[in-house]
Structure 1
Protein backbone atom coordinates (compact mmCIF):
# COMPACT_ATOMS: atom_id res chain seq x y z
CA UNK A 1 0.00 0.00 0.00
CA UNK A 2 2.78 2.43 0.94
CA UNK A 3 4.58 1.66 -2.30
CA UNK A 4 1.40 2.22 -4.28
CA UNK A 5 0.77 5.58 -2.64
CA UNK A 6 4.39 6.61 -3.23
CA UNK A 7 4.10 5.58 -6.87
CA UNK A 8 0.90 7.57 -7.31
CA UNK A 9 2.66 10.59 -5.76
CA UNK A 10 5.42 10.38 -8.31
CA UNK A 11 3.06 9.88 -11.22
CA UNK A 12 0.93 12.84 -10.15
CA UNK A 13 3.93 15.04 -9.66
CA UNK A 14 5.51 14.01 -12.91
CA UNK A 15 2.34 15.00 -14.75
CA UNK A 16 2.08 18.30 -12.89
CA UNK A 17 5.75 19.28 -13.09
CA UNK A 18 6.13 22.63 -14.87
CA UNK A 19 8.29 22.82 -17.94
CA UNK A 20 9.46 26.29 -17.05
CA UNK A 21 12.05 27.22 -14.43
CA UNK A 22 11.32 26.16 -10.85
CA UNK A 23 9.04 28.51 -8.94
CA UNK A 24 8.74 29.65 -5.34
CA UNK A 25 5.17 29.03 -4.24
CA UNK A 26 3.87 30.83 -1.18
CA UNK A 27 1.18 28.99 0.77
CA UNK A 28 -0.99 30.35 3.58
CA UNK A 29 -2.60 27.43 5.40
CA UNK A 30 -4.73 26.73 8.44
CA UNK A 31 -2.84 24.74 11.08
CA UNK A 32 -5.38 21.93 10.61
CA UNK A 33 -3.61 20.95 7.36
CA UNK A 34 -0.12 20.95 8.90
CA UNK A 35 0.20 17.15 9.19
CA UNK A 36 -0.94 16.62 5.59
CA UNK A 37 1.25 19.32 4.08
CA UNK A 38 4.29 18.26 6.10
CA UNK A 39 4.18 14.91 4.30
CA UNK A 40 3.36 16.27 0.85
CA UNK A 41 5.84 19.18 0.76
CA UNK A 42 9.13 17.25 0.44
CA UNK A 43 7.72 14.98 -2.25
CA UNK A 44 6.31 17.93 -4.20
CA UNK A 45 9.54 19.92 -3.98
CA UNK A 46 11.74 16.96 -4.79
CA UNK A 47 9.81 16.03 -7.91
CA UNK A 48 8.96 19.48 -9.32
CA UNK A 49 11.95 21.54 -8.25
CA UNK A 50 9.52 24.16 -6.97
CA UNK A 51 10.08 25.59 -3.49
CA UNK A 52 7.16 25.94 -1.10
CA UNK A 53 7.10 28.67 1.52
CA UNK A 54 4.30 27.76 3.92
CA UNK A 55 2.81 30.03 6.57
CA UNK A 56 0.70 28.17 9.14
CA UNK A 57 -1.69 29.95 11.48
CA UNK A 58 -5.30 30.01 12.63
CA UNK A 59 -7.96 30.82 10.06
CA UNK A 60 -8.84 34.05 11.85
CA UNK A 61 -5.22 35.24 11.92
CA UNK A 62 -4.61 34.39 8.26
CA UNK A 63 -7.78 36.16 7.18
CA UNK A 64 -6.71 39.22 9.14
CA UNK A 65 -3.38 39.26 7.30
CA UNK A 66 -5.07 38.79 3.93
CA UNK A 67 -7.56 41.57 4.67
CA UNK A 68 -4.57 43.78 5.49
CA UNK A 69 -3.08 43.19 2.03
CA UNK A 70 -0.94 40.07 2.35
CA UNK A 71 -1.40 37.46 -0.36
CA UNK A 72 -0.17 34.03 -1.41
CA UNK A 73 -0.13 31.77 -4.43
CA UNK A 74 -2.14 29.12 -2.58
CA UNK A 75 -4.54 29.67 0.31
CA UNK A 76 -5.96 26.81 2.41
CA UNK A 77 -8.72 27.94 4.75
CA UNK A 78 -12.31 27.04 5.58
CA UNK A 79 -14.66 27.00 2.58
CA UNK A 80 -16.81 29.94 3.76
CA UNK A 81 -13.73 32.13 4.29
CA UNK A 82 -12.33 31.30 0.84
CA UNK A 83 -15.70 31.97 -0.79
CA UNK A 84 -15.73 35.38 0.89
CA UNK A 85 -12.20 36.13 -0.32
CA UNK A 86 -13.20 35.16 -3.86
CA UNK A 87 -16.04 37.67 -3.72
CA UNK A 88 -13.50 40.29 -2.63
CA UNK A 89 -11.32 39.44 -5.64
CA UNK A 90 -8.50 37.98 -3.53
CA UNK A 91 -8.96 34.42 -4.80
CA UNK A 92 -8.92 33.60 -8.52
CA UNK A 93 -12.43 33.04 -9.84
CA UNK A 94 -13.32 29.35 -10.11
CA UNK A 95 -10.11 28.10 -8.48
CA UNK A 96 -11.57 26.94 -5.14
CA UNK A 97 -11.61 23.18 -4.52
CA UNK A 98 -12.71 21.41 -1.34
CA UNK A 99 -9.86 19.53 0.35
CA UNK A 100 -11.23 17.73 3.39
CA UNK A 101 -13.64 17.71 6.28
CA UNK A 102 -12.78 17.51 9.94
CA UNK A 103 -14.80 17.71 13.12
CA UNK A 104 -14.16 19.04 16.61
CA UNK A 105 -13.22 16.04 18.73
CA UNK A 106 -12.14 14.95 22.18
CA UNK A 107 -8.74 13.31 22.53
CA UNK A 108 -6.78 11.50 25.23
CA UNK A 109 -3.38 9.86 25.51
CA UNK A 110 -2.94 6.61 23.56
CA UNK A 111 -3.74 3.64 25.80
CA UNK A 112 -5.72 5.72 28.29
CA UNK A 113 -9.37 4.78 28.95
CA UNK A 114 -11.73 6.59 26.59
CA UNK A 115 -14.36 8.65 28.42
CA UNK A 116 -17.98 8.18 27.45
CA UNK A 117 -19.01 11.28 25.47
CA UNK A 118 -21.96 9.81 23.54
CA UNK A 119 -24.47 12.40 24.80
CA UNK A 120 -24.27 16.00 25.96
CA UNK A 121 -24.81 14.94 29.57
CA UNK A 122 -22.10 12.28 29.36
CA UNK A 123 -19.70 14.79 27.76
CA UNK A 124 -20.44 17.23 30.60
CA UNK A 125 -19.73 14.53 33.18
CA UNK A 126 -16.47 13.55 31.46
CA UNK A 127 -15.27 17.14 31.27
CA UNK A 128 -16.01 17.79 34.94
CA UNK A 129 -14.24 14.54 35.90
CA UNK A 130 -11.11 15.32 33.91
CA UNK A 131 -8.20 16.58 36.00
CA UNK A 132 -6.92 18.80 33.17
CA UNK A 133 -7.83 19.77 29.63
CA UNK A 134 -6.40 21.78 26.74
CA UNK A 135 -7.88 23.48 23.70
CA UNK A 136 -7.02 26.36 21.39
CA UNK A 137 -7.26 29.82 22.92
CA UNK A 138 -10.45 31.42 21.55
CA UNK A 139 -8.75 34.81 21.73
CA UNK A 140 -6.24 33.61 19.11
CA UNK A 141 -9.01 32.78 16.66
CA UNK A 142 -8.56 29.01 16.37
CA UNK A 143 -11.82 27.62 14.96
CA UNK A 144 -12.04 24.64 17.33
CA UNK A 145 -11.24 26.77 20.38
CA UNK A 146 -13.81 29.42 19.53
CA UNK A 147 -16.43 26.75 19.00
CA UNK A 148 -15.60 24.71 22.12
CA UNK A 149 -15.77 27.79 24.35
CA UNK A 150 -19.39 28.15 23.19
CA UNK A 151 -20.00 24.47 23.95
CA UNK A 152 -18.80 24.96 27.53
CA UNK A 153 -21.20 27.87 27.87
CA UNK A 154 -24.05 25.74 26.53
CA UNK A 155 -23.21 23.00 29.03
CA UNK A 156 -23.12 25.58 31.82
CA UNK A 157 -19.62 24.61 33.03
CA UNK A 158 -17.40 27.35 31.58
CA UNK A 159 -16.45 28.75 34.99
CA UNK A 160 -15.86 25.29 36.50
CA UNK A 161 -13.43 24.36 33.73
CA UNK A 162 -11.21 27.46 33.86
CA UNK A 163 -8.91 26.37 36.69
CA UNK A 164 -7.94 23.11 34.95
CA UNK A 165 -7.69 24.40 31.40
CA UNK A 166 -4.49 25.04 29.45
CA UNK A 167 -5.11 27.30 26.47
CA UNK A 168 -2.66 27.06 23.55
CA UNK A 169 -2.13 29.22 20.43
CA UNK A 170 -3.05 26.63 17.80
CA UNK A 171 -2.83 22.90 17.16
CA UNK A 172 -0.88 21.90 20.29
CA UNK A 173 -3.63 20.23 22.43
CA UNK A 174 -2.91 16.77 21.01
CA UNK A 175 0.77 17.16 21.82
CA UNK A 176 -0.02 17.99 25.44
CA UNK A 177 -2.10 14.84 25.97
CA UNK A 178 0.56 12.74 24.23
CA UNK A 179 3.17 14.07 26.66
CA UNK A 180 0.89 13.46 29.64
CA UNK A 181 0.77 17.16 30.49
CA UNK A 182 -3.04 17.21 30.33
CA UNK A 183 -5.58 14.41 30.60
CA UNK A 184 -7.93 15.48 27.82
CA UNK A 185 -7.91 17.77 24.80
CA UNK A 186 -10.39 19.20 22.33
CA UNK A 187 -9.27 20.03 18.80
CA UNK A 188 -9.85 19.15 15.17
CA UNK A 189 -9.89 15.35 14.87
CA UNK A 190 -7.21 15.55 12.18
CA UNK A 191 -4.88 17.44 14.51
CA UNK A 192 -5.28 14.89 17.32
CA UNK A 193 -4.97 11.85 15.06
CA UNK A 194 -1.72 13.16 13.58
CA UNK A 195 0.07 13.20 16.95
CA UNK A 196 1.91 10.00 17.95
CA UNK A 197 0.80 9.13 21.45
CA UNK A 198 -2.64 10.75 21.15
CA UNK A 199 -5.93 9.11 20.22
CA UNK A 200 -9.30 10.47 19.14
CA UNK A 201 -12.13 9.56 21.49
CA UNK A 202 -14.79 10.82 19.10
CA UNK A 203 -16.67 13.88 17.90
CA UNK A 204 -18.69 16.11 20.17
CA UNK A 205 -22.11 14.44 20.51
CA UNK A 206 -25.43 15.27 18.89
CA UNK A 207 -26.13 18.85 18.03
CA UNK A 208 -22.87 19.86 19.75
CA UNK A 209 -21.00 18.32 16.82
CA UNK A 210 -19.29 20.73 14.43
CA UNK A 211 -17.65 19.86 11.12
CA UNK A 212 -15.47 22.22 9.10
CA UNK A 213 -14.85 21.90 5.37
CA UNK A 214 -11.38 23.06 4.38
CA UNK A 215 -10.75 24.25 0.85
CA UNK A 216 -7.89 25.52 -1.29
CA UNK A 217 -7.72 28.28 -3.88
CA UNK A 218 -5.26 30.22 -6.02
CA UNK A 219 -4.48 33.77 -4.92
CA UNK A 220 -5.64 36.26 -7.52
CA UNK A 221 -2.24 38.00 -7.41
CA UNK A 222 -0.24 34.78 -7.87
CA UNK A 223 2.80 35.30 -10.10
CA UNK A 224 2.83 31.63 -11.09
CA UNK A 225 -0.72 30.24 -11.10
CA UNK A 226 0.42 27.12 -12.99
CA UNK A 227 2.77 26.17 -10.13
CA UNK A 228 0.01 26.94 -7.64
CA UNK A 229 -2.44 24.72 -9.51
CA UNK A 230 0.07 21.86 -9.65
CA UNK A 231 0.19 21.82 -5.85
CA UNK A 232 -3.61 21.92 -5.63
CA UNK A 233 -3.91 19.04 -8.10
CA UNK A 234 -1.57 16.95 -5.97
CA UNK A 235 -3.30 17.87 -2.71
CA UNK A 236 -6.77 17.04 -4.04
CA UNK A 237 -5.78 14.07 -6.20
CA UNK A 238 -5.64 10.39 -5.18
CA UNK A 239 -2.17 10.65 -3.61
CA UNK A 240 -3.11 13.71 -1.57
CA UNK A 241 -6.38 12.14 -0.46
CA UNK A 242 -4.48 9.08 0.79
CA UNK A 243 -2.29 11.30 2.97
CA UNK A 244 -5.33 13.27 4.11
CA UNK A 245 -7.08 10.12 5.31
CA UNK A 246 -3.94 8.91 7.08
CA UNK A 247 -3.93 12.16 9.05
CA UNK A 248 -7.48 11.71 10.34
CA UNK A 249 -9.36 13.91 7.89
CA UNK A 250 -12.23 12.87 5.63
CA UNK A 251 -12.19 13.83 1.93
CA UNK A 252 -14.65 16.68 1.38
Structure 2
Protein backbone atom coordinates (compact mmCIF):
# COMPACT_ATOMS: atom_id res chain seq x y z
CA UNK A 1 0.00 0.00 0.00
CA UNK A 2 1.47 3.40 -1.02
CA UNK A 3 1.64 6.42 1.32
CA UNK A 4 -1.42 8.11 -0.23
CA UNK A 5 -3.62 5.06 0.33
CA UNK A 6 -2.32 4.73 3.89
CA UNK A 7 -3.29 8.35 4.58
CA UNK A 8 -6.78 7.76 3.12
CA UNK A 9 -7.17 4.62 5.24
CA UNK A 10 -6.10 6.43 8.41
CA UNK A 11 -8.47 9.32 7.72
CA UNK A 12 -11.37 6.93 7.16
CA UNK A 13 -10.57 5.13 10.42
CA UNK A 14 -10.44 8.40 12.41
CA UNK A 15 -13.70 9.67 10.92
CA UNK A 16 -15.39 6.37 11.71
CA UNK A 17 -14.07 6.39 15.27
CA UNK A 18 -15.27 9.96 15.86
CA UNK A 19 -18.69 9.06 14.47
CA UNK A 20 -19.01 6.15 16.88
CA UNK A 21 -17.91 8.38 19.78
CA UNK A 22 -20.39 11.07 18.80
CA UNK A 23 -23.21 8.55 18.54
CA UNK A 24 -22.37 7.19 21.99
CA UNK A 25 -22.32 10.70 23.40
CA UNK A 26 -25.73 11.48 21.89
CA UNK A 27 -27.24 8.26 23.23
CA UNK A 28 -26.05 8.80 26.81
CA UNK A 29 -27.99 11.27 28.94
CA UNK A 30 -27.86 12.83 32.37
CA UNK A 31 -30.96 13.11 34.54
CA UNK A 32 -31.58 14.43 38.03
CA UNK A 33 -33.80 12.51 40.43
CA UNK A 34 -35.14 13.91 43.71
CA UNK A 35 -36.30 11.21 46.11
CA UNK A 36 -37.60 10.70 49.63
CA UNK A 37 -34.78 9.77 52.03
CA UNK A 38 -35.98 6.32 53.19
CA UNK A 39 -35.49 4.99 49.66
CA UNK A 40 -31.80 5.97 49.52
CA UNK A 41 -30.25 2.55 50.33
CA UNK A 42 -32.44 0.71 47.81
CA UNK A 43 -32.70 3.35 45.10
CA UNK A 44 -28.93 3.77 44.98
CA UNK A 45 -28.61 0.08 44.09
CA UNK A 46 -31.38 0.28 41.49
CA UNK A 47 -29.74 3.30 39.86
CA UNK A 48 -26.42 1.43 39.68
CA UNK A 49 -28.27 -1.29 37.76
CA UNK A 50 -29.90 1.29 35.49
CA UNK A 51 -26.52 2.85 34.67
CA UNK A 52 -25.13 -0.57 33.72
CA UNK A 53 -28.04 -1.17 31.33
CA UNK A 54 -28.23 2.26 29.71
CA UNK A 55 -24.92 4.08 30.41
CA UNK A 56 -27.06 7.10 31.31
CA UNK A 57 -25.97 9.08 34.35
CA UNK A 58 -28.31 9.80 37.25
CA UNK A 59 -27.78 12.50 39.84
CA UNK A 60 -29.60 11.56 43.05
CA UNK A 61 -30.84 14.07 45.63
CA UNK A 62 -32.41 12.75 48.85
CA UNK A 63 -34.61 14.58 51.33
CA UNK A 64 -37.85 13.80 53.17
CA UNK A 65 -40.94 14.11 50.98
CA UNK A 66 -42.09 17.41 52.57
CA UNK A 67 -38.65 18.92 51.92
CA UNK A 68 -38.55 17.63 48.32
CA UNK A 69 -41.98 19.18 47.74
CA UNK A 70 -40.89 22.55 49.16
CA UNK A 71 -37.63 22.60 47.20
CA UNK A 72 -39.54 22.04 43.98
CA UNK A 73 -42.17 24.63 44.87
CA UNK A 74 -39.32 27.08 45.56
CA UNK A 75 -38.03 26.59 42.02
CA UNK A 76 -35.54 23.71 42.13
CA UNK A 77 -35.62 21.62 38.97
CA UNK A 78 -35.21 17.91 38.31
CA UNK A 79 -36.32 15.32 35.79
CA UNK A 80 -37.96 12.70 38.03
CA UNK A 81 -39.43 13.01 41.53
CA UNK A 82 -40.03 10.04 43.85
CA UNK A 83 -42.27 10.84 46.80
CA UNK A 84 -45.30 9.60 48.69
CA UNK A 85 -48.53 9.77 46.62
CA UNK A 86 -50.12 12.68 48.50
CA UNK A 87 -47.08 14.86 47.84
CA UNK A 88 -47.11 13.79 44.17
CA UNK A 89 -50.77 14.84 44.01
CA UNK A 90 -49.96 18.28 45.45
CA UNK A 91 -47.14 18.78 42.95
CA UNK A 92 -49.44 17.75 40.10
CA UNK A 93 -52.08 20.29 41.17
CA UNK A 94 -49.44 23.04 41.23
CA UNK A 95 -48.26 22.07 37.74
CA UNK A 96 -44.75 21.15 38.88
CA UNK A 97 -45.03 17.50 37.78
CA UNK A 98 -46.86 15.98 34.83
CA UNK A 99 -50.28 14.45 35.23
CA UNK A 100 -50.70 10.86 34.11
CA UNK A 101 -49.55 7.45 35.27
CA UNK A 102 -47.84 7.32 38.65
CA UNK A 103 -46.39 3.84 39.04
CA UNK A 104 -45.96 2.62 42.60
CA UNK A 105 -42.33 1.60 42.73
CA UNK A 106 -41.77 0.56 46.34
CA UNK A 107 -43.14 0.19 49.86
CA UNK A 108 -41.04 0.76 52.98
CA UNK A 109 -41.94 -0.59 56.42
CA UNK A 110 -41.31 0.80 59.91
CA UNK A 111 -38.93 -0.85 62.36
CA UNK A 112 -37.18 -0.43 65.68
CA UNK A 113 -33.44 -0.17 66.24
CA UNK A 114 -30.85 0.61 68.89
CA UNK A 115 -27.08 1.09 69.08
CA UNK A 116 -24.95 -1.80 67.90
CA UNK A 117 -23.63 -2.26 71.44
CA UNK A 118 -27.17 -2.33 72.87
CA UNK A 119 -29.17 -5.41 73.88
CA UNK A 120 -30.53 -7.66 71.13
CA UNK A 121 -34.19 -7.30 72.06
CA UNK A 122 -36.76 -9.71 70.65
CA UNK A 123 -39.69 -7.73 69.22
CA UNK A 124 -41.21 -10.53 67.16
CA UNK A 125 -44.58 -10.42 68.96
CA UNK A 126 -46.76 -7.54 70.03
CA UNK A 127 -46.26 -8.33 73.73
CA UNK A 128 -42.46 -8.56 73.41
CA UNK A 129 -42.43 -5.35 71.40
CA UNK A 130 -44.52 -3.56 74.03
CA UNK A 131 -42.29 -4.74 76.87
CA UNK A 132 -39.16 -3.68 74.97
CA UNK A 133 -40.53 -0.16 74.50
CA UNK A 134 -41.46 0.10 78.19
CA UNK A 135 -37.85 -0.77 79.09
CA UNK A 136 -36.31 1.91 76.85
CA UNK A 137 -34.36 4.78 78.39
CA UNK A 138 -34.96 6.94 75.31
CA UNK A 139 -37.29 6.52 72.33
CA UNK A 140 -36.67 8.65 69.23
CA UNK A 141 -38.85 9.00 66.14
CA UNK A 142 -39.54 11.68 63.56
CA UNK A 143 -42.20 14.35 63.21
CA UNK A 144 -43.51 13.33 59.76
CA UNK A 145 -45.57 10.46 58.37
CA UNK A 146 -43.62 7.41 59.62
CA UNK A 147 -43.23 9.07 63.03
CA UNK A 148 -46.94 9.77 63.26
CA UNK A 149 -47.64 6.15 62.36
CA UNK A 150 -45.38 5.08 65.25
CA UNK A 151 -47.07 7.54 67.62
CA UNK A 152 -50.38 5.92 66.70
CA UNK A 153 -48.89 2.52 67.57
CA UNK A 154 -47.99 3.76 71.05
CA UNK A 155 -51.59 4.94 71.49
CA UNK A 156 -52.92 1.57 70.36
CA UNK A 157 -50.65 -0.21 72.83
CA UNK A 158 -51.84 2.07 75.64
CA UNK A 159 -48.32 3.21 76.55
CA UNK A 160 -48.10 6.67 74.97
CA UNK A 161 -48.53 8.56 78.26
CA UNK A 162 -46.20 6.23 80.17
CA UNK A 163 -43.42 6.72 77.61
CA UNK A 164 -43.98 10.46 77.11
CA UNK A 165 -41.03 11.56 79.32
CA UNK A 166 -38.68 9.31 77.31
CA UNK A 167 -39.82 10.36 73.81
CA UNK A 168 -37.82 12.67 71.55
CA UNK A 169 -39.38 13.80 68.24
CA UNK A 170 -36.97 15.11 65.60
CA UNK A 171 -36.76 16.12 61.97
CA UNK A 172 -36.68 13.05 59.67
CA UNK A 173 -32.90 13.10 59.24
CA UNK A 174 -32.20 13.65 62.94
CA UNK A 175 -33.56 10.49 64.52
CA UNK A 176 -30.26 8.64 64.88
CA UNK A 177 -28.06 11.24 66.56
CA UNK A 178 -29.72 11.14 70.03
CA UNK A 179 -29.42 7.34 70.09
CA UNK A 180 -25.81 7.30 68.88
CA UNK A 181 -24.87 9.87 71.54
CA UNK A 182 -26.81 8.11 74.30
CA UNK A 183 -25.50 5.80 77.00
CA UNK A 184 -28.58 3.84 78.04
CA UNK A 185 -30.92 1.40 76.34
CA UNK A 186 -31.91 3.96 73.72
CA UNK A 187 -34.13 3.11 70.76
CA UNK A 188 -35.08 4.62 67.41
CA UNK A 189 -38.20 3.98 65.36
CA UNK A 190 -38.10 4.71 61.66
CA UNK A 191 -38.06 3.27 58.18
CA UNK A 192 -36.39 -0.13 57.98
CA UNK A 193 -33.83 0.58 55.21
CA UNK A 194 -32.42 3.63 57.00
CA UNK A 195 -32.18 1.84 60.36
CA UNK A 196 -30.51 -1.17 58.71
CA UNK A 197 -27.87 0.91 56.90
CA UNK A 198 -26.99 3.61 59.45
CA UNK A 199 -23.51 3.08 60.94
CA UNK A 200 -23.60 2.35 64.66
CA UNK A 201 -27.28 1.32 64.60
CA UNK A 202 -28.71 -2.19 64.42
CA UNK A 203 -32.17 -3.17 63.30
CA UNK A 204 -34.08 -5.07 65.97
CA UNK A 205 -36.85 -5.89 63.52
CA UNK A 206 -40.03 -4.63 61.88
CA UNK A 207 -43.06 -3.64 63.90
CA UNK A 208 -44.86 -6.93 64.59
CA UNK A 209 -48.21 -8.08 63.26
CA UNK A 210 -50.87 -5.53 62.42
CA UNK A 211 -48.88 -2.78 64.12
CA UNK A 212 -46.83 -2.54 60.94
CA UNK A 213 -47.51 0.24 58.47
CA UNK A 214 -45.80 1.03 55.21
CA UNK A 215 -44.87 4.14 53.28
CA UNK A 216 -45.70 3.99 49.58
CA UNK A 217 -43.61 5.68 46.90
CA UNK A 218 -44.48 6.76 43.39
CA UNK A 219 -42.31 8.16 40.60
CA UNK A 220 -43.48 11.18 38.60
CA UNK A 221 -42.10 13.19 35.71
CA UNK A 222 -41.20 16.84 36.23
CA UNK A 223 -43.26 19.03 33.91
CA UNK A 224 -40.25 21.10 32.77
CA UNK A 225 -37.78 18.27 32.20
CA UNK A 226 -35.51 18.71 29.19
CA UNK A 227 -34.84 14.95 29.13
CA UNK A 228 -38.41 13.69 28.79
CA UNK A 229 -37.68 10.47 26.87
CA UNK A 230 -34.82 9.47 29.19
CA UNK A 231 -36.81 10.38 32.29
CA UNK A 232 -39.83 8.37 31.13
CA UNK A 233 -37.54 5.43 30.38
CA UNK A 234 -36.06 5.68 33.87
CA UNK A 235 -39.51 5.58 35.46
CA UNK A 236 -40.38 2.52 33.35
CA UNK A 237 -37.17 0.87 34.55
CA UNK A 238 -38.10 1.55 38.20
CA UNK A 239 -41.31 -0.44 37.66
CA UNK A 240 -39.55 -3.34 35.92
CA UNK A 241 -39.26 -6.82 37.54
CA UNK A 242 -35.47 -6.47 37.74
CA UNK A 243 -35.70 -3.16 39.58
CA UNK A 244 -38.41 -4.45 41.91
CA UNK A 245 -36.22 -7.42 42.79
CA UNK A 246 -33.36 -5.07 43.68
CA UNK A 247 -35.68 -2.83 45.70
CA UNK A 248 -36.92 -5.85 47.67
CA UNK A 249 -33.39 -7.11 48.34
CA UNK A 250 -32.59 -3.74 49.91
CA UNK A 251 -35.57 -3.33 52.21
CA UNK A 252 -38.07 -1.64 49.88
CA UNK A 253 -40.70 -4.10 48.66
User: Is the shorter-chain TM-score for this pair beyond 0.5, marking a shared fold?
Assistant: yes
Q: Is 1:149 paired with 2:151?
A: yes
CA shift, 1:108, in A, is: 4.2
CA displacement 1:164-208 (0-9 Å, x = unmatched): 4555543565798799866422111232344576234222553x4
- Please name the residue that 1:202 is paired with: 206
Aligned pair partner of 2:172 in 170, 173, 196: 170
Shift of the 172–246 alpha-carbon distance from structure 1 to 2, 3 Å rule, reads farther
Write out aligned runs for 1:77-226 (5 A).
Answer: 77-108=83-114, 112-116=119-123, 118-119=125-126, 123-136=129-142, 138=143, 142-152=144-154, 155=157, 157-158=159-160, 160-161=162-163, 164-165=166-167, 167-170=169-172, 173=175, 183-195=186-198, 198-203=202-207, 205-206=209-210, 208-226=211-229
TM-score by length of 2: 0.72
CA shift, 1:44, in A, is: 3.4
Structure 1 window deviating more from structure 2 (53-62 vs 196-205): it is 196-205
TM-score by length of 1: 0.72
Q: Is 1:60 paired with 2:62?
A: no
State the alpha-carbon separation in 2 of the partners of residues 54 and 40 from structure 1.
12
Aligned length: 228
> RMSD value over aligned CA atoms?
3.4
The alignment partner of 1:20 has SS state of helix
CA displacement 1:102-122 (0-9 Å, x = unmatched): 222223467943334633x65
| Bigger CA radius of gyration | 2
Q: Which runs of 5+ in 2 are unaligned?
A: 1-23
CA shift, 1:249, in A, is: 1.8
